[in-house]
Amino acid sequence: MKVKESEYLKLKKPILKKLLEKLLAKYEYASILANDSKSTNYRVSKTGTNISEDGTLSERGFCVKVYDNGKAAEYSFSAIEEDTVDAVFDEITKRLDTLGKTLPEGVTAFGFDGVEDEKLYINESTEYEVDPEEKGDNNIIDLLTRISEKGRAYDEKIIDCSVAFSYQKYSKIFLSRNKDLTQNVMWSCGYIVAMAKDGEEIQNGYKPVSMLGGIEVLDTLESNLADACKTAIELLSAEPMIPGEYDCICEPDVTGMIVHEAFGHGVEMDMFVKDRAQAKEFIGKQVASELITMHDGASTIPQVATYFFDDEGVAAHDTIIIEKGILKTGICDAQSAMHLGVAGTGNGRRQDTTRKAYTRMTNTIFEAGTSKVEDMIASIDYGFLLCQASSGMEDPKNWGIQLMVDIAREIKDGKLTGKIFSPIVLTGYVPDLLKSISMISDSIEAGGTGYCGKGYKEWVKVSDGGPYIKARIRLG
Amino acid sequence: MKDKIIASLKRLNIEEYIISITSYKSAQMFFVKKSLDCKRAENTKTYNVNVYRSFEKDGQKMKGNSSVYVYNGMTDAEIDASLSRAYLAASFVCNPTYDLMECTENKFITMESDLFNYTLEECCEKTAEALFAEDNREDVFINSAEVFAYESNVEILSSTGIESGYTKRSVSGEFVAQCKEPQDVETYKDFRYNDLDCESLKAKVRQTLEYTIDRAKATEAPKAGKYRVIISDSYVNDVFSYYSGRAQAGYIYAGYSTFEVGQNVQALNADGEVAEVKGDKVSMTLVPTEPLSYEGIWQRELELLDNGVLKTYYGGLRFSRYLGIEPTGFFGCVNVAPGTMSVEDMKKQPYLWVVNFSDFQMDDFTGHFGGEIRLAFLYDGEKVTPVTGGSINGSILDSQTNMHFSKEIQKSADFVGPYAMCFEDVPVAGV
């Protein structure tokens, strides 16, 4: 079934068109993004049960963008009615005219020579099998409770098992002089976090699921329960890593973190505008092994960051960033594209309508290769299988890697020994790691239970993943 | 809208609820080099309604809750539908019963701040002016910056008679400093002040520019091994979050934390055994950054640790009720007593002083802390060398009995405490 269009936005659209008309009479460019989004989180653990709307993802809001003599300005608001169009217009112009009258010494306002607004019409919806609202909160909580209780009974060392489900269903419309866009999207995700305790130390095993769609995402969650519990218990006896450079096999979620954190952030082209990304100097050059082809795009794969147009009214793309090891291009929001004189790639995203749009990743992956995972492990004399990615931080300027994974499983003479090390910090220089990739498995997995920030804020839903990869990595 | 929500709650016979109404106004400026790239203004209002439902299950009294957002422009029918769905959802939330916060005193207050002397636009512009005031060198400069001035107006209404609120202003933002020679490097910093603290911001910019010059000279990573590690600035606050994290009522109730009131929690090792604290002892006070919590708790300062000894648990309503302690809400600021050692004293022995991580993590579950080193100063007993790369991989459980805090302090909106702290024998992954 297709996600239905918001009745609220249908009612507001003619009112927003009136506001747009007034704005276009004053400014050379004006657009309005409207969002009606509902996101609910369900979580069950030993500490209790929670059902709540997500404050970050749920909103009914509007964002106006104008170019005034080429200078960009935006205004966010949360209410408009037929009889308040003039008042909203007056408030927008008053607030935007006042701000920036006084600038720091030596600072000027940047103005573009012209703003393009290509003709575009979109009205699309994603598909789902079962709407969480139709499934009913009681059935969702019953399922999560059953899994949580089973997890808590798995072993006496398991002190809690948190099981969660969340979804977002949103409708967006984007209006400008030449654009009339509507999209209706729903994604869902869930996870199990099993917590094991020994003395003062607590470790966790984490198993996520995610998809573009509805509550059918939970069909596979329970089958991951035993793995989550086993991992948490195993980690209690993990040894600290002996720092060094090793041959490593990365599971798809660790590959995904490398794709996203280590490389993806470096090709966000708003960083090119600021001269903050080394990748700008490497377009057309080899940055990775010839085995590597990397994509990003809202239309690359059906996952949690799939949409039909971005928050600046640019149609979704599937951008090939690296092709056979050669860096082809970055990804771009509309204003950065104007700065750089290139076409936007549909990557202008806002956390919500109260936030600025930045260049953001969507669904970011490495393509599959031809190797079998067992052959990859068998090829290692001494090294590690890296599992359970936990966090990472970008460094577009210097292409430094900082990634954390929870588990390194020891491999000796081509076999897993059962010995594990934790926690693990991956460091090094991004192109060195990517160029060292020597084997890639023959299928990919991607997921997106987490959020991506720009620096330390501006959270948006993303997915990432890829195949198992074999690489030489510095671990600590 | 407020009246419409209350009328709907009455129509639906929802007897227990908390309504949070939050209005935001903001002025925002985004700079690339010496250009204003975009400016933004905001005027939004959100209504969050948390409904509670009492029922019995297996002979035990339960109280479930569920929260939803109600939006401007919603009809009575839409509000009824949204709240009744939330009320139904609350009946599936099987949490042991507890009482909502009683109304002790109703008032609306404006938090003291000199930011109220100006318009929001002026607050934003004056902060930007302070930010760029130090950007006057040729060898290092501000690459990009974002500046925000916020006014939030929060109103809490509850079925227990709470009808209170506050208005608060703040300025915040972030900037990236860049130095191109001898190598092209950058440093990220963020800031947040509840006053127009231009001098603190200027000092932060000045120091960040200096560190960025040092980082441009750093080429080598430290050798792998164990080091006497010094950290400073906001990373010190991150380390102390271990104690505030583990003292939360929610952690105690769930058994995630074994902290006990009256126990010297700083003396615990990884096996839960007590060791002698040879270094500085932690004395910590939690300070609210908002006067009223979203559950209607009037917040006040709370002494958490005295010389390593836990004085109290703290937390939100439900877990505090379960533990039989006074609900305190959560705290946005931590005060930690400084140590007796100066930073110069700390630097008398060989050290690795990390002044910038790419991302510092303190895991209050495992006790691990660390991150990749963006810039550190390595003193081998003879000379000081700027280094970059490698990572710290420490454990508070291994380090807490022998750590030292500087007597020099730092102040920000979320931390007042030692400027620096020092740990012995911390594993470092290097070359």
Mean pLDDT in runs of 10 for chain B (431 residues)?
Answer: 96 96 97 97 96 94 94 91 94 93 94 96 97 95 98 97 97 96 92 92 95 93 93 95 96 91 90 86 96 95 97 96 96 95 95 92 89 92 92 91 95 92 91 71
Instruction: State the average pLDDT over residues A182-208.
Output: 94
Kindly tell me if the per-residue pLDDT of A12 is higher than 90. yes
Cβ atoms of B224 and A243 within 8 Å: the answer is: yes
Please state the pTM of the whole predicted model. Answer: 0.93
**B93 and A49 in contact by Cβ < 8 A?**
yes
Q: Which residues pair with A60 in a beta bridge?
A: A36
Please tell me the distance from the alpha carbon of residue B33 to that of residue B128, in angstroms, as a whole number.
Answer: 13
Return the pLDDT at B24: 96
| Cα A365 from Cα A445, distance rounded (Å) | 9
Q: How confident is the model at residue A5 (pLDDT cuts 50, 70, 90)?
A: very high
Decide if A42 contacts A51 (C-beta within 8 A).
yes
Q: Which two tokens stand for residue B210?
A: 């200096």
Instruction: Decide if A48 and B367 are in contact by the 8 Å CB cutoff.
Output: no
CA dist A176 → A22, A31, A179 (Å) = 12, 4, 5
From A104, A356, A402, residue closest to B132, measured CB to CB? A104
Distances (CA, A) of A182 to A170, A173, A185: 11, 4, 10
**Neighbouring residues of B314: CB distance < 8 A, sequence distance ≥ 6:** B247, B248, B249, B286, B302, B304, B320, B325, B328, B329, B330, B331
SS3 A369: coil
| Closest CA–CA distance from residue A96 to any residue of chain B (Å) | 7
Q: Which fold has domain A7-103+121-236?
A: PmbA/TldD fold (3.30.2290)
- Cβ contact (<8 Å) for A397 and B31? no
For residue A197, what is the nearest residue in chain B, using CA coordinates? B256
d(CA A267, CA A342) in angstroms, rounded, equals 14
Percentage of residues of chain A with pLDDT beyond 90: 88
Average pLDDT, chain A: 95
Q: What is the pLDDT of residues A52-96, one digit of tens each?
A: 999 899 999 999 999 999 999 999 999 999 999 999 999 999 999
Cβ contact, residue pair A52, B41, below 8 Å: no
Look at B39 and A100 and tell me if their CB atoms are within 8 Å: yes
Nearest CA to CA, how far is B342 from chain A (Å)?
Answer: 31
The Cα of B72 is separated from the nearest Cα of chain A by a number of Å equal to 6
Asked if A393's CB is within 8 angstroms of B359's CB, the reply is yes
Interface A-B: count of C-beta contacts within 8 A: 262
Which of A82, A95, A165, A352 to mutate: most B Cβ within 10 Å?
Answer: A95
Residues of B in contact with A77 (CB under 8 A): 42-44
Residues of B in contact with A47 (CB under 8 A): 250, 253-254, 319
Task: Please tell me the predicted confidence (pLDDT) of residue A423.
Answer: 87
Q: Residue A385 above 90 pLDDT?
A: yes
Q: How open is the CA angle A173-A179-A185, to the nearest 5 degrees?
A: 30
> What pLDDT does residue A269 have?
97
Chain A residue whose CA is closest to B130: A104
Chain B residues near residue A171 by CB distance under 8 angstroms: none
> DSSP letters along A118-171, please?
--EEEEEE-B-SS-HHHH-HHHHHHHHHHHHHHHHTS-TTEEEEEEEEEEEEEE
Instruction: Decide if B372 and A425 are in contact by the 8 Å CB cutoff.
Output: yes
Q: Are A255 and A466 in contact (CB under 8 A)?
A: yes
Give per-residue burial for A120-146: e unless 16+ CB within 10 Å, then b: eebeebbebebbbeebebeebbebbbe
Question: Is A50 close to B37, i.e. CB distance below 8 A?
Answer: no
A273's tokens: 């505008």
At residue B155, what is the residue type?
E
The answer to whether B255 contacts A103, with C-beta atoms less than 8 Å apart, is: no
**Closest CA of chain B from A346, distance in Å:** 19
Taking the CA atoms of residue A278, residue A284, residue A289 and residue A292 in that order, the dihedral angle to the nearest 10 degrees is 100
Chain A: residue nearest B360 by CA?
Answer: A393
Q: What is the CATH number of domain B2-215?
A: 3.30.2290.10
**Dist CA B176 CA B204 (whole Å):** 12
CATH 3.30.2290.10 segments of chain B: 2-215
Residues in A closer than 8 angstroms to B254, CB to CB, are 45-47, 159-160
Interface-testing mutation among B1, B17, B44, B143, with chain A (most A C-beta atoms within 10 A): B44
| CB spacing of B40 vs A59 below 8 angstroms | no
φ/ψ of B135, rounded to 5, equals -85, 70
Cis peptide before A423 (omega within 30 of 0): yes
Gap between the Cα atoms of B348 and B230, Å rounded: 12
Closest CA to A288 of A321, A249, A327, A260: A327
pLDDT, residue A261, reads 87
pLDDT above 90: residue A455? no
Q: How far apart are the first and last CA of chain B?
A: 62
Candidate from B143, B256, B428 with C-beta closest to A275: B143
| Domain spans of chain A, in order of start | 7-103+121-236, 244-475
Residue B417, helix vs strand vs coil: strand
Query: Which of A51, A79, A107 comes nearest B73 by C-beta?
Result: A79
State how far residue A97 is from chain B, nearest Cα, in angstroms: 10
Q: How many whole angstroms from its chain centre is CA B372?
A: 21
Contact list in A for residue B271 (CB cut-off 8 A) is 199-200
A81 contacts B92? CB cut-off 8 A? no
